[in-house]
Amino acid sequence: MTSSLVRVGIIGTGNIGADHVDRVAHQVSGARVEALFDVMTDRVSALADSVGARSLPSARAVIEDDAVDAIIVASPAEFHAELSLFSIAAGKPVLCEKPLAPTNDECQIVVDAELEKGRRFVSLGFMRRYDAAYRHLREHLDGDKIGIPLHLRCVHRNPDVPPTFTSEMSMTDAVIHEIDCARWLLGEEISSIRVISGKSTPDAPHGLRDPQLVIMESTSGVLVSVEIFVAAQFGYDVRCEVSGSRGFSSMGYQDLGDYVTVAGRHSAFSPNWRVRFGEAYRLEIQDWVNGLAVGEIRGANAFDGLAATTVAQAGVQAVRTGDIVPVHLPTRPSLYD
Ligand code: ISE
């Protein structure tokens, strides 16, 4: 780092990328936005001007720019692995939005690139790890407050999705978060997955099975169930309850901001994940920047990305076949211990 502020280059300035520009510029300390790239050139120039950054002609130009210390990748998922690889080749830390890549093979190539360099560069944007409610859940598990975890019961509801959304995308775009949370909360891998779909909501885009019930098992046999319901209409709703051998701990059930009026009882749901997890995203970026200042790469890593994509892809197969699909993960290299 040649400046006391981490100079960040951001690639992709759509919804989440634009949020990250605002976070780096105004909501975290120790960093500033140095350069941006987006294929939508009009959008990116105005955004760059608003935060005193430069708009560059390509993603690679951002990564290789001498005045950029670290990269945030918020482009569409199919570019994540390639841009992470360019960042690794340039020797620059990269905070990549989930997923690390849509396929296991591409994720493995990123892991291999880090192994070859003998150090980690990639932090993966599994922001739920920074959410206060999920952190409490993990403290209860780590503190042995509820005994041995036996069942994680998760709910993931989105108000709506684009008309092109498919039953498989429910696994790769949405359930991938519960996959990461389950691994992070339990400290174990997922060993199998099956997906059951029943009656679909009439509000689902044509062909989308919604809701679906996902049932996973961890290596020690903990059950992880997820109701994934992406055309739920009323708002964004994420819950998780862990049943343990001596109690339970839950999030998302008690903290919905309920209020009561003469007209009845109301629950204030977030409109979308950008609002619900806004603070988690901010804390994730702050921790990333704080880590870089002391030479550490923090947050979920590239192997976490490989593991999550591997389970999500097994989930895709489970959607298509209805089978219980075993998950085959490579052994975790010591770089990721
Ligand atoms: C979206 O892509 C996300 O990443 C959100 O975190 C997730 O909750 C949502 O379901 C996805 O569509």
Lining residues, ligand 1, CB within 6 Å: 158, 173-174, 177, 273
**Does a structural domain hold residue 1?**
no
Distance 173 CA to ligand 1 centre (A): 6
Residues 116 and 163 grouped into a single domain:
no
Beta strand 237-244 pairing with 190-197: unpaired
Domain CATH for 101: 3.40.50.720
- CA-based nearest residue to 322, from 215, 191, 175, 210: 215
**pLDDT score of 221 more than 90:** yes
Protein residue with its CA nearest to atom 3 in ligand 1: 174
What is the mean predicted confidence (pLDDT) over 3-31?
96
Protein residue with its CA nearest to atom 10 in ligand 1: 174
pLDDT at 2: 47
pLDDT at 175: 98
Q: What is the rounded radius of gyration, in angstroms, for the C-alpha atoms of the chain?
A: 20
**pLDDT score of 234 more than 90:** no
**What's the pTM?**
0.95
Question: Are the C-beta atoms of residues 185 and 244 closer than 8 Å to each other?
Answer: no
- The dihedrals phi and psi of 290, each to the nearest 5 degrees, come to -60, -40
Distance 277 CA to ligand 1 centre (A): 10
**pLDDT score of 301 more than 60:** yes
Q: What is the pLDDT of residues 145-159, one digit of tens each?
A: 999 999 999 999 999
From CA 93, how far away is CA 302, in angstroms rounded? 12
Q: What is the pLDDT of residues 172-210, one digit of tens each?
A: 999 999 999 999 999 999 999 999 999 999 999 999 999
Distance 175 CA to ligand 1 centre (A): 8
What is the mean predicted confidence (pLDDT) over 208-236?
96
Residues 140 and 94 grouped into a single domain:
no
Distance 263 CA to ligand 1 centre (A): 32
Domain limits at 327? Answer: 129-273+308-336
To test the pocket of ligand 1, the residue of 177, 214, 229, 284 to mutate (highest count of ligand atoms within 8 Å of its CB) is 177
**pLDDT score of 1 more than 60:** no
What is the mean predicted confidence (pLDDT) over 126-142?
96
Enumerate residues 6+ apart whose C-beta is below 8 A from 51: 21, 22, 24, 25, 32, 33
Residues 140 and 250 grouped into a single domain:
yes
> Any bridge partners for residue 242, and if so which?
152, 249
**Does a structural domain hold residue 315?**
yes
Residues 318 and 203 grouped into a single domain:
yes
**pLDDT score of 255 more than 70:** no
pLDDT at 260: 67
Which class for 202: exposed (0-12), middle (13-18), buried (19 or more C-beta within 10 A)? exposed
Domain count, the chain: 2
Per the listing, tokens 């976070």 go with 23
Residues 72 and 185 grouped into a single domain:
no
Distance 294 CA to ligand 1 centre (A): 31
- CA-based nearest residue to 208, from 248, 150, 170, 167: 167
Compute how many other C-beta atoms are within 10 angstroms of the C-beta atom of residue 228.
Answer: 27
Closest atom of ligand 1 relative to the 97 alpha carbon:
4
Protein residue with its CA nearest to atom 5 in ligand 1: 273
Task: Tell me the residue type at 43.
Answer: R
Query: Quick one: how many helices (H) and strands (E) in the chain?
Result: 11, 15
pLDDT bracket for residue 254 (50, 70, 90): low
Residues 54 and 148 grouped into a single domain:
no
Domain CATH for 135: 3.30.360.10
Q: What is the pLDDT of residues 39-96, one digit of tens each?
A: 998 889 999 999 999 999 999 999 999 999 999 999 999 999 999 999 999 999 999 9
Question: Are the C-beta atoms of residues 55 and 41 closer than 8 Å to each other?
Answer: yes
Taking CA atoms, 115 is separated from 82, 86, 289, 334, in Å, by: 16, 15, 23, 10
User: 61-90 burial by CB neighbour count: b if 16+ within 10 A, else e?
Assistant: bbbbbeebbbbbbbbebebbbbbbbbbbee
**Does a structural domain hold residue 31?**
yes
Residues 221 and 99 grouped into a single domain:
no
